[in-house]
Each structure stands twice: as structure tokens, then as C-alpha cells.
Amino acid sequence: MASSVVALPADNLIHVFWDEGMLKHDTGRGVFDTGMDPGFLDVLEKHPENSDRVKNMCSILKRGPISPFITWHQGRPAQVSELLSFHTQEYVNELIEADRNGGKELCGGTFLNPGSWDSTLLAAGSTLSAMKHIIDGQGKIAYALVRPPGHHAQPTQADGYCFLNNAGLAVQLALDGGCRKVVVLDIDVHYGNGTAEGFYRSDKVLTISLHMNHGSWGPSHPQGGTIDELGEGEGFGYNLNIPLPNGTGDKGYGYAMQHLVVPAIEKFEPDMMVLVVGQDSSAFDPNGRQCLTMEGYREIGRTIRGMADKYSNGRLLIVQEGGYHVTYSAYCLHATLEGVLDVSEPLLSDPIAYYPEDDSFPTKIIETIKKYHKEAVPFLKDA
């Protein structure tokens, strides 16, 4: 059910970068994300990272109550040369060769099929265009509605449905374009290991990831997402992992935002903000075990908008990642962007939100992480 439209300032718009060519990435069917047909199931489900999820995200922005505050921009494919700001030539060559040979499963559940490479280039290029739109002063808030996702892709390898690191490429573009310091806040349910790896030795990028405490899942994802993975060299202390216990919901995420994320951003003082958003942290996602509802996403959006207004002159890039419940992911995206717009009242009510939440255990974990950060992270010692 939609609420009445709230009046917002005329310049309070979200610039969405999108291209339908990204729907051509066909991830197939099978047992969850394996592509396997065991032979005894009459109905094989679509791979969780399928085009339906993004179709609904697109349509809710075009026809939902937030639509008056959305302006649409045509995406574009990235040039191969642009990919080398984050990825190695050898890895890019591997992807090109896999496409030329008709496709390849690069790691578990991560299928480069015919048409996938074109979609991957569109995702990267559209994200770069969204960041350039902000850098060039054409808009302050841009959202790259892209697939395949990217935050697990490391400089040298694919991982977790991701081939190219869309957010990482955009961050490097911002740095090359004159930004001094960039914050990347990743709220996908899985650790944004690829983005962290790309800037692990940099003190110019503060990567913060709130994720389910899932650990490493194999050679393609060697990082554990643990609190002691803080960065290396000049980057030590500028990778902050916030692994949250299963079942953390709106209150737990809100507590983490106020007691861990906000103080870190305030100390870092970025001049560009990037929100890496995945709706797989929701209470109803098949690929996560957290319990965020629309209101939790709305509050995260509102908080990050406040930080952008305070430190980066309102400049904020939002990059789409996971979110696999075909309906609820779209609703949670809508709520996130409502928060970013800082609407006074929700524009869209939550159709399935009620979920009991005990935030006592997550709060204890967050306090433990806070204590560790104060002791181990140099720039947070007096936060």
C-alpha cells in the first residue's frame, strides 16, 4: 500500500543509471546456485542472481510512489582499458577468453554464460557513469542499478556471482578525479571482500562492511571478514569489518550504524561517499540470515545521507549488489532510497515486515567490536 506522496525540494533527486542489456546475463536453473539438475526434481529454481529481481527493482522505481524523485540515465558498457584501474590485465584477459569460448563457471555459482560478458561491461560502465555524473557536478546522488553484482570480485579473480568490481572501479575513478578520501559502506549480507582487497593498502579509502558472520567460503573468497582484517601498510586501520550474528535486525543494525559506522566516518572526514547496497540482509532473503525490514533499510539510508550532507557536500553514489527475494528486495530498495531522500513519512508501507527481534546479543557483539576498534585502529583510538 502506498502512502501519500511527500513534497521534497526540487533538487532532491536520485539519478539512476540503468541499461536493459544487463538482463541478458542468464544464470540458468538448478539446485539453488549450483546449476545442477539432480534428476529427481520436477521444478528447478532459477539461480538466485537472476534478472527478475532487478526487473522488479526497476519497475518499483518507475511506477512506485518514489518515482517523482527519480531521474533516469542510460547506462553504457565499460571499455576494457577502464577495467585496469582495479583489475589486472591477466584477469581481464581470462574473462574475455571465457566469453570467447562460450562461457565458464569461474567459481562456485558464478557462471559466465553467453551474453554475460556484455552485461558485465554494462554494469561496470554504468557505475562509472554514475560516479562521473557526481564528480562533474551534474547531480549529488546517483544510483547504479546494475547486475551482475561486483563487490566480491577481487583484482585477480571472480567470486560470489561477481566478475568485475563495479564499486571499486567507481571509487578509483573518484580518486583519480580529485577526491581525497572515499568511504565505502557495504550493507550486503556478505562481506564486500573484493572491494576491501582492492584498497587494503590504501589510507585514502575507508571500507566498512556490515555482514553476516559467514567466514571464508573457499579459494575464491579467502578473506574471513573478521574484525582483525584491518588492512596492511598505509591502509592499516582503514578496513573495518563488522560481522554481525545471524538474526540481527533493524535495532542491531541501527546500533552498529550509530556506535561503529558514524564515529568512523566522522573521524575519517571523506569528500565522497559510496553506499554498496544489498537487500539480502532482509528478513526474507533466501541467501542471508539477517532480519532487516524496510524500516531498517530506511534508517540506514537516512543515516548515510546525513553523513554525505555533513562531509561530502551531499555527494553519494549508491551501487546495487545482492538481494534475492524477488518481491521484498524491491520494497527494501524503495525504503533505502526513501531514507536517502530523507522523507518525513514512509512513501510505501511494508507488506510483510513483522519479525520479532531480540537485539541484546547483537548489541553485546557490537560493543566488543567497538572496544577492539578503539584498541587496534590508530585513527579511532580517541573516537
Helix or strand or coil: residue 333?
helix
152 labelled catalytic: yes
**144 near 17, Cβ under 8 Å?**
yes
Phi, psi of 64 (to 5 degrees): -80, 175
Q: Which residue has the cell 526540487?
A: 10
CA distance 273 to 318: 9
Which grid cell is 265?
566516518
Instruction: Output phi, psi for 33, to 5 deg.
Output: -110, 15
CB atoms within 10 A of CB 63: 9
Local structure of residue 136 (DSSP, 8 states): T
Residue pair 203/162 in contact by the 8 Å Cβ criterion: no
Long-range contacts: 221-228, Cβ < 8 Å, 24+? 221/152, 221/159, 221/160, 221/191, 221/193, 223/191, 223/193, 223/196, 223/197, 224/191, 225/191, 225/193, 227/369, 227/372, 227/373, 228/372, 228/376
CA distance 210 to 373: 14
CA distance 34 to 186: 25
Bridge partners, 218 (sequence order):
221
Catalytic position from the list 133, 152, 334, 373: 152
Q: How far is CA 329 from CA 41, 50, 188, 271, in A?
A: 27, 13, 12, 29
Cα(228)–Cα(24) distance, integer angstroms: 39
148 cis-preceded (ω within 30 degrees of 0): yes
Q: Residue 218 region, left (φ>0) first, then alpha (ψ -120 to 50), else beta? A: left
Cα separation, 59 vs 334, in Å, equals: 11
Residue 348 carries which DSSP code? B
The catalytic site residues sit at 152
